[in-house]
Amino acid sequence: MNKKESDKLISSLLQYWYAQHKRSLPWRETKAPYVVWISEIILQQTRVNQGNDYFLRFIERFPDIKSLAEASEDDVLKIWQGLGYYSRARNLYTAAKQVMEKFDGVFPSSYSDILSLKGVGEYTAAAVASIVYNLPYPVVDGNVFRVLSRLFTIETPIDSTIGKKYFNEIAQSILDEQHPGDHNQAIMEFGALVCTPKQPKCTECPLQSVCLAFEKKNVLNYPVKKGKTIQKERFFNYFHIEQNGYTYVKKRDNSDVWKNLYEFPLIETEEQNDLLKLQENSGFSNLFHSVGEIYFQHKLRLKHILSHRIIHADFYRVELGQYNIFDIEKKFIKIKSASLFEYPVSRLIHKYLEII
């Protein structure tokens, strides 16, 4: 069998397997570009089970591009709350406005136009272009890296520039150009259900006869990675202020994590501090100067793991009397404590609110 025949066989086996084993998922029932796009964005960095509920809620709340573009960003973030990687939600919102303004409200149909939308990278553009418009662009996500690296025992690290280019070429060469959408969905589903990271189901795999890693009995050596992600530790100290049924929050407005989500007044420190040590921090006197009696209570310590960071968070309940003069009003928004749940917040703050 020559290379071309072998590539064709791989795609046929994948698509045959997919036709019989694909999971029934709501976004697979349509080829509407808006729906496919939303599902692809949600499924980046999110497992299908978790993504499913968010997808249904999102589509119910924003059934089309127009409703998304006309919503408020707070509404979009609120629906997204808990899903993580909030830049995806902010980008969806910006892209919806782009479609309304630049493409007269009609989702673009060429690869380059899809790629021009905010938050859409090569993977998402290839997925939407192939699934919706049958255009011959291969997808390369974590599942595809794994499957290809094992099938062809590729030693090039997947987290290198050269590796990304190389895997893209291999993905292109095995792509069924007549049925690129089915092919792409098949290989991703196969990676998610059969050729899994830790316990691939090699004994029941339809690609066993063409898989080099299986033949060499070194399946778990693939994919090859250059380096591990280093997780930075950060230390957050939150102050949940109570004053006659009101509290204070602020929208995160920097390019850091959780941009545009709301949070309590925060002091970030270099290491874990207790209250005594915190009181020596200049951030503390900036927050709480010119007030009378304040009562602090340490409520909770939570550890929150993100892809590149581990956040250690201490939460303090702060009680202020009715007549305290409080400088914090200039820097934070005063809201009714009872309305806290209406604001989009990080999963960490949500967890705290559920526990207390």
Contact between 144 and ligand SF4 (CB under 6 A)? no
Number of residues that bind ligand SF4 (CB under 6 A): 15
Applying CB under 6 A, the span of 111-119, 162-170, 197-205, 334-342 interacting with ligand SF4 comes to 197-205
Encoded tokens for 204? 């029941």
* CB of 209 vs ligand SF4, minimal distance in Å: 9
Contact between 14 and ligand SF4 (CB under 6 A)? no
Among 92, 192, 207, 313, binds ligand SF4 (CB under 6 A): 207
* CB of 17 vs ligand SF4, minimal distance in Å: 10
Among 114, 175, 194, 320, binds ligand SF4 (CB under 6 A): 194
Contact between 151 and ligand SF4 (CB under 6 A)? yes
3-state SS string over the chain?
CCHHHHHHHHHHHHHHHHHHHCCCCHHHHCCCHHHHHHHHHHHCCCCHHHHHHHHHHHHHHCCCHHHHHCCCHHHHHHHHCCCCCCHHHHHHHHHHHHHHHHCCCCCCCCHHHHHCCCCCCHHHHHHHHHHHHCCCCCCCCHHHHHHHHHHCCCCCCCCCHHHHHHHHHHHHHHCCCCCHHHHHHHHHHHHHHCCCCCCCCHHHCCCHHHCHHHHCCCHHHCCCCCCCCCCEEEEEEEEEEEECCEEEEEECCCCCCCCCCEECCEEEECCCCCHHHHCCCHHHHHHHCCCCCEEEEEEEEEEEECCCEEEEEEEEEEEECCCCCCHHHHCCEEEEHHHHHHCCECHHHHHHHHHC
In angstroms, what is the C-alpha Rg of the chain? Answer: 25
Which of 225/351 has CB closer to ligand SF4? 225
Which of 186/287 has CB closer to ligand SF4? 186
Given the residues 40, 189, 268, 280, the one annotated as active site: 40
Contact between 148 and ligand SF4 (CB under 6 A)? no
40 catalytic per annotation: yes
Contact between 170 and ligand SF4 (CB under 6 A)? no
Neighbours of 19 (CB within 10 A): 10
Contact between 202 and ligand SF4 (CB under 6 A)? yes
Which of 95/195 has CB closer to ligand SF4? 195
Which of 43/207 has CB closer to ligand SF4? 207
Contact between 193 and ligand SF4 (CB under 6 A)? no
Per-residue binder mask for ligand SF4 (CB under 6 A), 219-258, x = binder? x---------------------------------------
Among 150, 183, 240, 304, binds ligand SF4 (CB under 6 A): 150
Contact between 311 and ligand SF4 (CB under 6 A)? no
Among 37, 214, 238, 326, binds ligand SF4 (CB under 6 A): 214
Catalytic residues: 40
Per CB under 6 A, residues contacting ligand SF4 are 147, 150-151, 194-195, 200-202, 205, 207-208, 211, 213-214, 219
